[in-house]
A and B are shown apart, each in its own frame.
Chain A
């Protein structure tokens, strides 16, 4: 019943709109504006451009300001500071261009609207002007390119020798983390060895794999103030590691390991004080569409003081993959043991 009423009222509304449209046409035929080339509506449209500029411009500045606090994610890495300062510098440059060109666009539209008897200025070209406004953007772009190169080269340079290595592997639909253990070398993996218990496909015949240990299921730890190198891979489709607070993003590609290194500058506890949020956690998100659960691929990264981190590592080192798989009773998996033995 309600559906019919809604449908009826929509139809009635459309009929009314149609009638208004017809009346508008008849009225304009009657007043003669239907035949006139350029009428009052030209003035209205010109004025509307000016009003648009003022109202929408105001709305933009107001909303940008009020979104400001929520918009800016606190920075927790060293290179993040460089990225953000360059971001806001570029924003200032483009903001200036944006405002300037829009003022010209809308003011010209208003000022040079049609007037009876006026003749436009025949002005087909001016080489000097054109050279000026080719060269200026070119110089500005060159400066931006140079500063971009510098930052980019620094960020993507090879990780320092002493970096803490952490492997992050994406799969549908969660992240798994592996640490290299005391030798600081990750053991070999093969995708054919993967099963319900050996989720990484670790080859236990490899010496380097013996002391590898996993992170906790939903969180992993890194130390503050030391270079951390993420070795990133995927075992099914493309995922992408995104740590928004660290300005870190790198795709996880099946068959092609990638890497990203950074230096965390604030522990989780420090960030909890800074943001005034006692439950604050650094989150890792997936930013390459990977299927149904793409929006839920979350993991927590905990940044510890170096000494706390060492303590955590010491505690974890007992729980290597090797012991878990050989005992056939992994700490965080209920899968059957038989499958593991066959991998040996």
Chain B
């Protein structure tokens, strides 16, 4: 444990020539590459996440171009895509590979590793008052396993037979049979290997987050005084720890089916002119295993942003978060329910219809804690004194996107309605709003909010505003019309719809969506520029630029190894004492004892003086 290591780097950017009398010097490699410092590891996850987000976004631009302009020629992309452009046309298998990799990258590499990895690592020790994670070494391993998984997944993009192409859900038999689609050859093998390593990374990280939150809270930091961010990260880690091993087993069985001739998921197959010997397996079994992870996974994506957004909204509305305990309770409820709703992805998979009715019931229950969260955020804004920092803009928009995407879940969770909507663009619109855009907005909110703590400088606000408004407007311009396509029955993962008379309409709408999508993709470079520029040239931050209550803002501008130069802060109060009547300022940090705030103490708090 690194709790004895209290050296302080005055400025982490001035290189490694600082002198410390109490600690040995760290080499560049120890400090920035194989670092065991949670703040550096958090940033490593952030940079890796940004890299993957650019790749995933590029892929979506490519297949959106195909969907929006099915008659267009892709000759201009030949220098990059090579033989995947076939006589000026995008190869349909490559189209499926793009869709598959877009999903895999965004869900796992950006919104799981990039989001939890960044903020759990960076914020957990800082907000609970710990020197570092419980195990710095395991934490380092977590990143490097992720890095290895990334390298393998990235390499698979350049294979001659292409990367995995059977959809991000990799349903067998398609994903098991290279005869059925070329991406199920080496590409799929690398997908499985990469995901196995990814799961190892998640488990190493998750064990660490949980242990740290349980064991390393500073004096006075009871579970009921934790910021909601920490509750969110904690529950996310628990979900990951329980769900990812199931994906691991599914991947393992799929590897057996693919390489060692077993029949877990395969039965009675005749493909490419040949009857296979596999018998007795069930493709539906894989779906059960996959979605047992897959559904908690969408909450692994969205829960951290619940925490981030609650924190940002409370800070910038200058109000305590409304219903702190209800917020924790609803997150707990969502976490538990997330494990017993998985089969709502499978209403028309051929499973017993009775199961469908059970899962419809359980699924619609989730709407209740989700609604509570939304109402509580609205109540937090009510009669606030709102400061619209870029982080706050993204948080308000997060609530909007979460509502818009969330309400359509009530339709899709209803098994009778899902018959028509399943695997149409209605589903695409639903989850891109509720867990895609919303999670991205939460992530942006987190980056803008904690940028000063991460890099000791302020990120430019004006560019943040431009970035926000373009992104917010385009998110709706892209995904709102997709509901219309879904109601009209447009199936997902179609290379083009023009072959069907039923779907041969809305050509203009598809072009419109594509233009908005490509435009907003390029607008993200405003953020990238702002991010990189501000790391080096941004205005210098103060210790607590947002006048926030949580402990990370009591550290120096550039917290060194060990986070606090002196003893660890002691916590006396909950993190949301904003605008407390009688207080001289509109915020009272968590480490201020009640004895110093006698003018603002509530009756029951007098005992603590």
Contacts and interface: CB of A to CB of B under 8 A. Distances in A.
Nearest to A55: B473
A98 B501 CA distance: 33
Given A52-B473, A120-B383, A289-B96, A254 B357 contact: no
B484 to A, nearest CB: 4
Interface in B356-379: 356-357, 360-361, 364-365, 367-368, 371-372, 374-376, 378-379
Given A119-B586, A145-B360, A113 B96 contact: no
Given A52-B472, A235-B268, A294 B319 contact: no
Contact of B385 (A70, A119, A256, A279): A119
Contacts of B284: 253, 256
- Interface residue tally on A, bucketed by range: 35 or more
Interface string B260-297: 00000011111101010001111110000000000000
Contacts of A106: 400
Contacts of B407: 94, 97-98
A94 B408 contact: yes
A306 interface: no
A25 B459 CA distance: 12
B195 to A, nearest CB: 18
B420 A249 contact: yes
A291 B174 contact: yes
Interface in A78-130: 82-83, 86-87, 90-91, 93-94, 97-98, 101-102, 104-106, 108-109, 112-115, 118-126, 129-130
B516 interface: no
B262 to A, nearest CB: 14
B173 interface: yes
A130 B92 contact: no
A172 B180 contact: yes
B166 interface: yes
Interface stretch (B8-16, B442-450, B485-493): B485-493
A253 B349 contact: yes
A169 to B, nearest CB: 11
A113 B384 CA distance: 7
Interface in B444-501: 460-463, 465, 469, 472-473, 476, 480-481, 484, 487-489, 491-497, 499-501
Contact of A21 (B326, B463, B539): B463
Contacts of A153: 353, 357
A251 B349 contact: yes
A255 B505 contact: no
Interface string B405-444: 0011011001111011011100000000000000000000
A247 B320 contact: no
A249 B396 contact: no
B213 to A, nearest CB: 23
A105 B420 contact: no
A105 B381 CA distance: 8
Contacts of A109: 381, 386, 388, 396
B598 interface: no
B303 interface: no
B506 interface: yes
B166 A289 contact: yes
Contacts of B393: 45
A295 B386 contact: no
Most A C-beta atoms less than 10 A away, residue of B360, B393, B396, B487: B487
A290 B166 CA distance: 7
A299 B509 CA distance: 26
A165 B102 CA distance: 41
Contacts of A197: none
A120 B410 contact: no
Contacts of B180: 172, 236-237, 290-291
Contact of B579 (A56, A121, A137, A292): A121
A285 B498 CA distance: 12
B39 interface: no
Contacts of A97: 403, 407
Nearest to A97: B407
A295 B495 contact: yes
Contacts of B181: 291-292
B576 interface: yes
Contacts of B318: 119-120
Contact of B461 (A41, A172, A298): A41
Contact of B379 (A34, A123, A151, A281): A123
Given A41-B465, A73-B502, A114-B385, A152 B319 contact: no
Interface string A233-253: 001111010101101111101
Contacts of A37: 387
Interface in A23-49: 24-25, 28, 34, 37-38, 41-42, 45-46, 48-49
A9 interface: no
Nearest to A66: B484
Contact of A63 (B360, B379, B423, B481): B481
A237 B271 contact: yes
Given A48-B469, A285-B491, A286-B491, A98 B404 contact: yes
Contacts of A113: 386, 388
Contacts of B136: none
Contacts of B480: 60, 63
7 contacts: A41-B462, A122-B581, A124-B576, A133-B372, A244-B420, A249-B423, A255-B279
Given A71-B488, A145-B361, 12 more contacts: A34-B539, A87-B420, A98-B403, A114-B386, A123-B382, A124-B320, A130-B375, A133-B371, A133-B372, A141-B368, A250-B350, A295-B495
Interface of B: 92-93, 96, 166-167, 171, 173-174, 177, 180-181, 266-271, 273, 275, 279-284, 317-326, 348-350, 353, 356-357, 360-361, 364-365, 367-368, 371-372, 374-376, 378-379, 381-388, 393, 396, 399-400, 403-404, 407-408, 410-411, 414-417, 419-420, 422-424, 460-463, 465, 469, 472-473, 476, 480-481, 484, 487-489, 491-497, 499-503, 505-506, 509, 539, 576, 578-581, 586
Interface of A: 21, 24-25, 28, 34, 37-38, 41-42, 45-46, 48-49, 52, 56, 60, 63-64, 67, 70-73, 82-83, 86-87, 90-91, 93-94, 97-98, 101-102, 104-106, 108-109, 112-115, 118-126, 129-130, 133-134, 137-138, 141, 144-145, 148-149, 151-153, 155-156, 172, 191-192, 194, 196, 201, 235-238, 240, 242, 244-245, 247-251, 253-256, 258, 279-281, 283, 285-296, 298
When A and B form their complex, which 5 residue pairs have the shortest distance between CB atoms, in order from nearest?
Answer: A255-B267, A156-B353, A94-B407, A258-B350, A121-B383
